[in-house]
Amino acid sequence: MTAGESAERIPAPLRTEALEQLLTERGLVDPTTLDATITEYETNVGPLNGAKVVAKAWTDPEYRRWLLDDGTAAIKQWGFIGMQTEHVVVVENTATSHNVVVCTLCSCYPWRLLGLPPSWYKDPAYRSRVVKEPRKVLSEMGLELADDVRITVHDSSSEVRWLVLPERPAGTEGLSEEQLVPLITRDAMVGVARIEAP
């Protein structure tokens, strides 16, 4: 057994803790700064932020129009601007039109709204294939779209980040904003999944 193979058998949380301790002991990491960063990602950055924006748009037609007309301003109202959300364009999925987001050059992504980008989003295969064969890639990810649904792929960049306003699922009309938020997923806001009714 090699050193790499034995390290793979140690649970990731223990490896992370050991690495943090080693870096702290060597003076390479300030534990206070590290704790502040972890708290930031646990409480202020993540898909819950995007879900709040989507739920508001689903329940407030005026906010929905504003979000689609000027995503940056509508999102700024929530305080979710910063960390790659300086300029956000929002596109809406409907029964006949589907939007999906990719960053073909790297992994530009609205962190403050969606949290850390998933590994598949950064994968070169996703980044190249979703542009060329989006229907096939979405199908492989579990999202089957009818042949008559038009798919548009949006390429994020350092200037513009995209957010998908998912189609609201039937059967959720009586739910409040607060009840809708837990249904809304990061993958749906990237456009690789649908939101299912509870």
Domain boundaries, the chain: 3-43, 47-190
Catalytic residue among 97, 106, 128, 158, which? 106
- Would you call 139 a catalytic residue per the annotation? no
pLDDT for residue 43: 60
In the chain, the amino acid numbered 34 is L
Residue 1 pLDDT > 50: no
Q: What percent of the chain has pLDDT over 70?
A: 90
Q: Which residues have CB under 8 Å from 87's CB, separation 6+? A: 72, 159, 160, 161
13-55 tens-digit pLDDT: 788 778 878 888 888 888 888 777 666 665 666 789 999 999 9
What residues contact residue 154 under an 8 Å CB cut-off, 6+ apart? Answer: 89, 91, 99, 100, 101, 102, 162
* Given the residues 6, 97, 108, 176, the one annotated as active site: 108
The owner of tokens 């096939």 is 136
Comparing 170 with 5, which gets the higher pLDDT? Answer: 170
Residue entry with tokens 């646990």: 42
Q: Identify the pLDDT of residue 2.
A: 52
The CATH number for 47-190, chosen from 3.90.330.10, 3.30.1330.10, 3.30.1600.10, 3.30.830.10, is 3.90.330.10
Q: What are phi and psi of 144, to 5 degrees?
A: -95, 125
Can you give the pLDDT at residue 165?
Answer: 98
Spatial distance between the Cα atoms of 129 and 121, rounded to a whole number of angstroms: 11
Query: Would residue 128 show up in a list of annotated catalytic residues for this protein?
Result: no
Does the annotation count 157 as an active-site position?
A: no
Q: Which residues pair with 99 in a beta bridge?
A: 152
Which of helix, strand or coil describes residue 28?
coil
Query: Tens digit of pLDDT for each residue in 130-151?
Result: 999 999 999 999 999 999 999 9
6 belongs to the catalytic site? no
